[in-house]
């Protein structure tokens, strides 16, 4: 009687576990056939019967097939278990994830059906790549788009999170967008805060920004000179936005001369104001007996442009100024001299707000032309206000109240 020497070569294991994304429903099997004297059975038709048993070497046959092959000049032959003629069961129906599995090999060296049992061996890890394809641990879903999640002990079908292959829904069984959320959303990135809104920049990156539902601005007003003390606060520029009081009322100082340093700006702009479409920001009258003194009003706006292009904002405003005594009205956007005037009046100035950043826009007005009263005193006024609904910003622009925390120079 001839015998069959079963030798699974090393590359058999390699092929079984290093499977492609589409796992073949077969197990490579290679062996050498010898007779009972140890001689190779070469260039000969042979037949085999493979049985996969459940639980033990004598367990129930869950799959059985027969195969025919031809040995080569070295007695070597190769077959793929799972591709033969089926006797019992289906190879794809083998539940590799349940119980141990054993392979029984039977052999007929003549190519017939008189099989000799060559023994039964337990499958170890080799065929279980087939099990990974089946994902047998995952239960059946309960609805279209169910997403599985691990609850700590098992996989379960999630009836809150849905995925239809292109869109994801949270609480939305039929998501209509890339992310469709039915319910509340919480986004915590460190910039969140009460009253803030989520705003996107030009690249789509969102961040929390403060909004008041209208125009939020910082402002200051001051007189520059006292006959008994001289120029205010020792004429210290750091107290007045980086410009000395003498320059504000005698040197035609401009808003663009205000320091870019946020600490210096915070020192000057101590007060906060709110307005909607229009705003009377300042209106005051005072007496003076010297051209050295003047009253200055200034307002600072922080404006965010969330788009990819500059946007023009055209505020309409009323102002006072008197350049004859060295007092001008002016505007700066991020430190540039955007507009100035030496006479009182009204103006509509187009301001370009750069893209992708928060810009600083500062308005300055000084006192108007003096009027002599009773032959001795000079009556003057300082006025500033927006009209024509021009505090309503164009789409893409937004007021930001962040001077308390802002850092850096202009445009930050």
Three-state SS for 91-148 is HHHCCCCCCCEEEEEEEECCCCCCCEEEEEEECCCHHHHHHHHHCCCCCCCCCCCEEE
pLDDT band at 124 (very low <50, low <70, confident <90, very high): confident
Please give the torsion angle defined by the CA atoms of residues 110, 116, 118 and 119, in that order, rounded to the nearest 10 degrees: 160
Please give the torsion angle defined by the CA atoms of residues 5, 6, 11 and 13, in that order, rounded to the nearest 10 degrees: -160
Higher pLDDT among residues 313 and 374, named by residue: 313
Number of Cβ atoms within 10 Å of the Cβ of 15: 17
CA distances from 67 to 73, 92, 127, 247, 364 (A): 20, 17, 19, 103, 96
pLDDT digits (tens, 9 = 90+) for 219-268: 999 999 998 899 999 999 999 999 999 999 999 999 999 999 999 999 99
**By C-alpha distance, which of 49, 48, 51 is closest to 60?**
51
Question: In CATH, which of 1.10.940, 3.30.2010, 2.60.40, 3.40.50 is domain 3-134?
Answer: 2.60.40
Q: Which residues of 152-185 are buried (b: 16+ CB within 10 A; e: fewer)?
A: eeeeeebeebbeeeebbbbebeebeeeebeeeee
6 three-class SS: coil
172 three-class SS: coil
pLDDT at site 138: 63
pLDDT digits (tens, 9 = 90+) for 379-403: 999 999 999 999 999 999 999 999 9
Instruction: Give strand pairing partners of 65.
Output: 50, 86
pLDDT at site 203: 74
Long-range contacts of 28-32 (CB under 8 A, 24+ apart): 28/78, 28/80, 28/81, 29/78, 29/79, 29/80, 29/81, 30/76, 30/77, 30/78, 30/79, 31/4, 31/5, 31/6, 31/7, 31/76, 31/77, 32/5, 32/7, 32/74, 32/75, 32/76, 32/77
What residue ranges do the domains of the chain occupy? 3-134, 138-183, 210-399
pLDDT band at 176 (very low <50, low <70, confident <90, very high): confident
pLDDT at site 127: 56
pLDDT at site 155: 78
* Rounded Cα distance, 197 and 4, in Å: 78
User: Are 346 and 329 contacting, i.e. CB atoms less than 8 angstroms apart?
Assistant: no
Q: Is the overall model pTM greater than 0.75, yes or no? A: no
């Amino acid at each position: 009687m001839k015998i069959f020497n079963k030798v699974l070569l090393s590359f058999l294991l390699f092929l079984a576990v290093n499977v492609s994304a589409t796992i073949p429903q077969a197990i490579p099997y290679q062996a050498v056939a010898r007779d009972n004297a140890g001689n190779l059975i070469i260039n000969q038709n042979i037949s085999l019967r493979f049985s996969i048993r459940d639980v033990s070497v004598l367990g129930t046959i869950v799959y059985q097939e027969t195969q025919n092959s031809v040995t080569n000049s070295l007695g070597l032959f190769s077959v793929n278990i799972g591709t033969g003629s089926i006797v019992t069961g289906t190879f794809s129906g083998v539940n590799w994830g349940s119980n141990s599995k054993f392979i029984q090999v039977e052999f007929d060296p003549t190519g017939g059906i008189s099989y000799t049992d060559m023994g039964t061996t337990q499958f170890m890890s080799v065929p279980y790549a087939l099990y990974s394809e089946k994902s047998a641990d995952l239960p059946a879903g309960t609805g279209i788009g169910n997403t599985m999640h691990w609850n700590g002990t098992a996989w379960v079908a999630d009836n809150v999170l849905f995925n239809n292959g292109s869109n994801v829904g949270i609480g939305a069984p039929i998501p209509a967008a890339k992310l469709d959320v039915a319910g509340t959303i919480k986004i915590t990135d460190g910039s969140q805060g009460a009253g803030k809104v989520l705003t996107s920049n030009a690249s789509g990156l969102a961040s929390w920004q403060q909004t008041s539902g209208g125009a939020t601005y910082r402002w200051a007003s001051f007189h520059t000179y006292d006959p008994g003390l001289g120029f205010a606060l020792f004429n210290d520029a750091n107290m007045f936005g980086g410009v000395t009081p003498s320059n504000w009322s005698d040197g035609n100082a401009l808003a663009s001369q205000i320091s870019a340093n946020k600490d210096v700006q915070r020192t000057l702009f101590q007060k906060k104001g709110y307005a909607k479409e229009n705003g009377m920001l300042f209106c005051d009258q005072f007496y003076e007996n010297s051209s050295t003194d003047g009253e200055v009003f200034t307002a600072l706006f922080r404006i965010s442009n969330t788009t990819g292009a500059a946007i023009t904002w055209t505020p309409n405003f009323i102002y006072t100024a008197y350049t004859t005594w060295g007092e001008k009205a002016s505007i700066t956007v991020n430190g540039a001299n955007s507009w100035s005037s030496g006479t009182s009046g009204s103006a509509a100035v187009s301001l370009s707000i750069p893209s992708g950043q928060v810009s600083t826009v500062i308005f300055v007005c000084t006192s108007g032309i003096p009027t002599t009263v009773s032959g001795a005193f000079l009556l003057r006024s300082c006025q500033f206000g927006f009209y024509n609904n021009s505090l309503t910003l164009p789409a893409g622009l937004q007021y930001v109240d962040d001077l308390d925390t802002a850092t850096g120079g202009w445009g930050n």
